[in-house]
Structure 1
Amino acid sequence: MKKLLNLVLGVVGCATLYLLLWPVPVSPVAWDAPTAPGYQGPHAVNDRLSGLKMINLHGEVGPEHIQFGRDSKLYTTVASGNILRMEADGSAQQVFANTGGRVLGFDFDAEGNLIAADAFKGLLSIAPDAKVTVLTDTVNGDPIRYADAVVVAQNGKMYFSDASTRFAPKDWGGTFEASLLDIVEQSSTGRILEYDPATKATRLVATGLSFANGVALSQDEQSLFVNETGKYRVWKIAVSAHQLDVRTLDTHTQGTTQARVLLDNLPGYPDNLMRGLDGKIWLGFAKPRNATIDNLSAMPWLRSLTLRLPRVLWPIPKAYGHVIAFTEDGKVVADLQDPSGSYPETTAITETKDRLYVQSLHAHGLGWLPK
């Protein structure tokens, strides 16, 4: 009995030392998560996103970004690194290009080049003949580690997010794993960059964002809308801002003329932003809020301990389909939900006159709804 007791105490002791001392890749920072608003008001529970029609992607997974090119073809990026091209109904599917990385967001420039934010490679230009050119992969000598979303202005300048300067997907097992580490840590190293093809210069617009994600331009192209995924909010940042650290702003007084929080304390993790019709902007939530995660916001050592647990015990939020549309002054004008989460990680909407295409990080097909 004494030997058994010693064995049990030894096992418990080793487990305790492991949970307290085993090294983890994050150095969590305490922050004050706001009380989750729940699904009420403009976000009252509904099933308007249920029953999606599906376009078969023939084994490809994760249509993270969807957009129509100047050739009227539908383009989407998938987890394999392929960029797919097809007709609006999903027919005539083909692989347009493969960057050897993972393109998350993209846009088209005036010449019809596909401008891609590749999480592994940086900011790329892919010509109509599929030739890939690296536009930029550093800023001020610092590597761009997690290019995420990009939008091209009419003057040719390209604005894109570098989601994290701490965790590069190529070093940490992929985009989802790197994003999880960054959001657990909350060191807020995400940034917004500008690339000017005329001068080939890359400029730091703003930094201090907890996982800088989706980016969209205002109609007058004087402002950027930026999703700060890790803190459940959307910023409006002047394109003229230069090396602005948003952590220095008092968000309770709505920031400054250079930057302010437009949508705060959202019910989920905001992901992509897409301009829709009639002036609205579509936003998707990759996951809903999780009470355990919010409760651990002020306890960084417990967040470290969580990463030492088997992954099955991590407080990963449940699947829940959710997209919204808002106006440039921050008014929510559409809210579509699928509480079943049957179409996972709904990252945004691509809107045409007759369809809503639903972007997703991990779906095995391309979902859409008739308007």
Structure 2
Amino acid sequence: MNTNNVPNQYDALLGEISTQILQSRYRAARLVNRELLLLYFAVGKRLSEKIALEKWGAKIVEQLSADLQKGLPGLRGFSRRNLFNMKAFADEYAELEPVFRHEADTQYDADQLVQTPSALIDALPMNLFLSLGFSHHTLLIDRCKDLTERVFYLQKAVANQWTHDMLDWQIKARLYHTQGHMPNNFAQTMPDVIRETALQAFKDEYLLDFINVEADDERVLEKGIVQNIREFILKMGTGFSFVGNQYRLLVDGDEFFVDLLFFNRQLQCLIAVELKRGEFKPEYLGQLNFYVNVLNDQVRLPHENPSIGILLCREKKNAIVEYAFQGFSTPMGVATYQLSPDLPEHLRNILPDPESLRKLLD
């Protein structure tokens, strides 16, 4: 026996078995999730019928929840609130009843779903729909009334394995409305093979709600991002890796520093991010263009694509940005950022405005 090949053979076997275990767990989780969706739909439909027929109110639903949990100790997922969520789920997707009925009687096979004429069935990718968790569906029903927007988030959530909290954040960050809409010069500066990927990699606006103070200069903003770099990378999108902040470039004896430097695996290129606390100014692109050129010449590896520059500022006027792009041959984009969301309407009349608060403190 050739013992030299044993480590390689063992590693191959270990990798093969590990993959099979993970795939089996994933299939099992999908099947469990499918069964739960079927159950919740059936319960929600029955509850909806009874409420409509018997004019039941919230107290009956609350009693039903208590009796279910009393009769089935350890039962989870049947709180009063969740029973109403099941009703909303069944009401929202009433047109899918033939699909759910078909699924309840057959083994799961997304390609063999019953073909029932329905605009809703045609619009929803059913294989993805049945693999998304119930709490995700509840969130989408509550927050996304437009079906096209809902399907967008459904597909993203499944593809990226978003948790409920991450899906919630992406909706708050308006990903549907901002992804692919960032003003840029990619059409003039990028090859066709990666342009669409680049467009989808960036958003028009980034919600930096993990920064709790108003950034009065770029360094404060940069510090807040670096201290929460994991959150920032997760919310940047897919494939981003952090290289460093205040990344040093040396040109003819002079030092220059890129605020934030990333690498994106999908694009296979460096991403230079410059932070500006105020409104966009055309001269900012000149500085960013310089950084991107130096990165391409001194840092980029031979197999990597040309670097991209992203300017992140508080405000911008798109017409000014578009004019500012003219004449540059490096790929760049301009996005805005938003810090902690504005106060809810019901609190604005209770808390003093910043000027009044400052006078009180003085």
Q: TM-score, normalised by structure 1?
A: 0.24
* Structure ranking higher on relative contact order (CA contacts 8 Å, 6+ apart): 1
Please identify which structure carries the higher strand content: 1
Q: TM-score, normalised by structure 2?
A: 0.24
Larger Rg: 2
Please identify which structure carries the higher helix content: 2
